[in-house]
Amino acid sequence: MARCSIELIEALRETACRLKKGDSYQWGHMGSCNCGHLAQTITHYSKGEIHGAAMWRYGDWREQLRDYCPHSGLPLDEVIDQMLDFGITRQELAHLETLSDPAILNSLPQEKKHLKHNQRDDVVLYLNTWAWLLEIELLPLIKLEQELAREQV
């Protein structure tokens, strides 16, 4: 799973909140789809800037992630760089675009396990569940840091 951090959890929750409140969502638009919305949160680029960056190379997010090269100088690769620096993996981004990460899906209630990749409410549920899983992972680390800090006092 992604490199766990409070910043990443907040980015996932902020993205889910924006979508839930009605931000423009269009799965076929590179800046308004699942990955596009998270990219907006992390990079602070507009949906138009992200979409424009993607037009330098052929393909949707999954194809762009497959062809990603950190040294290409292509604008979307620079967006992907920022997302990777935030702690997300390329595989997690590919899963986000199709709402298909097994760990996230296994954490959903039985009646919610069959998400549709292009449905706003399903994206919101996926992002919030991902954030929740990261919180579960982060909590023991926070407790350990607190214990270590108390021992040093």
Confidence bin at 67 (pLDDT 50/70/90): confident
Q: What is the 3-class SS of 12-39, one letter each residue?
A: HHHHHHHHHCCCCCCCCCCCCCHHHHHH
> Is the per-residue pLDDT at 145 higher than 70?
no
**Residue spans per domain, the chain:** 6-152
Structure tokens given for 25: 């969502």
pTM: predicted TM-score of the whole model, two decimal places: 0.88
- What angle, 0 to 180 degrees and rounded to 10, lies between the N-to-C axes of helices 75-85 and 90-98? 100
Confidence bin at 43 (pLDDT 50/70/90): very high
CA atoms of 18 and 84, how far apart (whole Å): 21
Residue 1: CB atoms within 10 Å:
14
pLDDT, position 56: 87
Percent of the chain scored above 90 by pLDDT? 69
pLDDT (average), residues 124-146: 83
pLDDT, position 137: 87
Burial class (CB in 10 A: 0-12, 13-18, 19+), 79: buried
Burial class (CB in 10 A: 0-12, 13-18, 19+), 20: middle
Confidence bin at 142 (pLDDT 50/70/90): low
pLDDT, position 148: 57
